[in-house]
Amino acid sequence: MSITGECFCGEVKYNFDGVLQDARSCHCSRCRKAFSSQASAYALIDANNFNWVSGEKLLTSYVGMHGFGLQFCSKCGSTLCGVFNGIVHGVTLGCVNGDPEIELGRHIFVGSKASWETIAGDVPQYTENVPHNT
Ligand SMILES: [Zn+2]
Ligand SMILES: [Zn+2]
């Protein structure tokens, strides 16, 4: 399927031919800061099928530990994608347009969620990350 996304001001747009995979929400303290929210909402993509349509020059990167970073619009501040060693690794679900036909599959690092957050619904929750054998 063809998926499109854009930032809050609409200057930065991308498209992606394929499916989003492994959608997750991480409630750790670092993701709260990075996403300015109670948690991340993020899904993986195949970078070979990803294209910036407009506004690529407005993108700014913040690369944190271990080569993993985020790219955001320098005009409006929306975080659009995650990058690993300079290659797009996944997209933030908040900037995806319409229905990308995926739902969150897990909440991770729930053990360090914000005191003010209540997680609703029956999506599996994990205190830390998902054990490797699941
Ligand atoms: Zn923007
Ligand atoms: Zn996190």
Write down the pTM of the prediction. Answer: 0.92
pLDDT digit string (tens) for 77-90?
999 999 998 899 99
Sign of CA pseudo-dihedral 8, 40, 42, 82: positive
CATH numbers and ranges of domains, the chain: 2-22+36-105 (2.170.150.70)
Return the ligand number nearest the Cα of 11: 1
Contact present, 15 and 88 (Cβ < 8 Å):
no
Say how many residues make up the chain. 134
pLDDT digit string (tens) for 24-51?
999 999 999 999 999 999 999 999 999 9
What pLDDT sits at residue 66? 83
Return the ligand number nearest the Cα of 7: 1
Quote the ligand 2 centre to 54 CA distance (angstroms).
28
